[in-house]
Amino acid sequence: MPTLQHMLSTKPWLLADGATGTNLFQMGLVSGDSPEIWNEEHPDRIKTLHQRFVEAGADIILTNTFGGNRRRLALHQAEGRTHEINRIAASLAREVADAAGRPVVVAGSVGPTGELFAPLGALTHENCVAVFVEQIEGLKAGGADVAWIETMSAVEEMRAAATAAAKVGLPFTITASFDTAGRTMMGITPRALVEALAGLDPGPLAIGANCGAGASDTLAAVLAITGADPGLAVISKANAGIPRYHDGHIHYSGTPELMAAYARLAIDSGARIVGGCCGTSPEHLAGMRQALDSHRAGERPDLDSIVAKTGAFVHRPSAGKGDADSSKREPRRRSR
């Protein structure tokens, strides 16, 4: 099995896959249903999505386990099957990766619990670690190469997930969602993320940004992260444009051409791993792969050149500068 460490040491960049949830909706998933339970009920559809991303050129595929921790599965009365659901999900991705004929990393997706840490909520470091250990043990048993800790907002939850991965014995990556005026929902800037994760031992193989807003906003976060520490391996996994509600469905504005431009800018901004998040289809990813395969490194972009090529920021451009002043901002509660 390939390792992410080895591939990062031997390749200038890696292409991660696209969206899971939004593509599963196109395959029949209904709002309110658990995508993770589809690992048991529709394994053929999950494998088909993984296969389409591999055929599009993905070097990394994420398991269908973003909401696979027991706190999230409890919403579907499935918390007692947490280990098994994650094991099955990882084994489905592992089967596709092993048949690819080239190295493909299986990344075990680990999303947030959806709960708040004390004193804002009841979550503690100890019980959060236990929640993530259970999930990551299932992912490891199914053949995941790395724990892909993603879409995080709170440093406390990132540290708990990192501790859990270390306990289980899987290397890990961490990405945050800078979806609130250039910060995470709990007030963390991209530069503050770098500082907050610097003391982890073991440390992440890579950190970065995913989801949140459109491609331009994600690129601004990547610029801030790589500016804070140019030596980091950085992940950029942006949404495919901006979501719009039309004819009863959510549609993303990004075209394959826009995502190709985004992918080139992500590399020039210093990212080592580039992929797509919500709305990113295999067709988008194929365009990104073609763009990266033919890309010659360019100058580090500024915010104006990002806007010119991938569109206006959803949030104010100054948020992309990554000022590490998160201590001056009160955390915001996630609406439920």
pLDDT, tens digit, for every residue of 41-66?
999 999 999 999 999 999 999 999 99
The answer, yes or no, to whether residue 273 has pLDDT greater than 80, is yes
Per-residue confidence at 149, pLDDT binned at 50, 70, 90?
Answer: very high
Is there a domain that residue 28 lies in? yes
Q: How far is CA 272 from the centre of its chain?
A: 14
> How far does the chain reach from its first CA to its final CA, in angstroms?
40
Whether residue 47 lies inside any domain: the answer is yes
Q: Which residues of 29-54 are buried (b: 16+ CB within 10 A; e: fewer)?
A: beeeebbbbbbeebbebbbebbbbbb
What mean pLDDT is predicted for residues 113-127? 95
How sure is the predictor about 213, in pLDDT bands with cuts at 50, 70 and 90?
A: confident
Per-residue confidence band for 317, with pLDDT thresholds at 50, 70 and 90: low
Average pLDDT rounded to a whole number, residues 5-29: 96
Q: How far apart, in whole angstroms, are the C-alpha atoms of residue 106 and residue 41? A: 21
Residue 14 has pLDDT above 60, yes or no: yes
Mean pLDDT of 28-33: 93
**Domain contains 269:** yes
Cα 22 to chain centroid, rounded: 14
Domain that holds residue 272: 4-328
| CATH code, domain carrying 44 | 3.20.20.330
At residue 21, the pLDDT reads 95
| Residue 248 pLDDT class (50, 70, 90 cuts) | low
Is 335 domain-assigned?
no
Q: Is residue 127 part of a domain?
A: yes
Residues contacting residue 54 through CB under 8 Å, at least 6 positions apart:
61, 96, 97, 100, 104
**333 within domain boundaries:** no
Would you say residue 175 lies in a domain?
Answer: yes
Residue 333: the pLDDT is 31
**In the chain, how many domains are there?**
1
Residue 17 forms part of a structural domain: yes
Q: With 70 as the cut, is the pLDDT of residue 328 above it?
A: no
Identity of the residue numbered 309: K
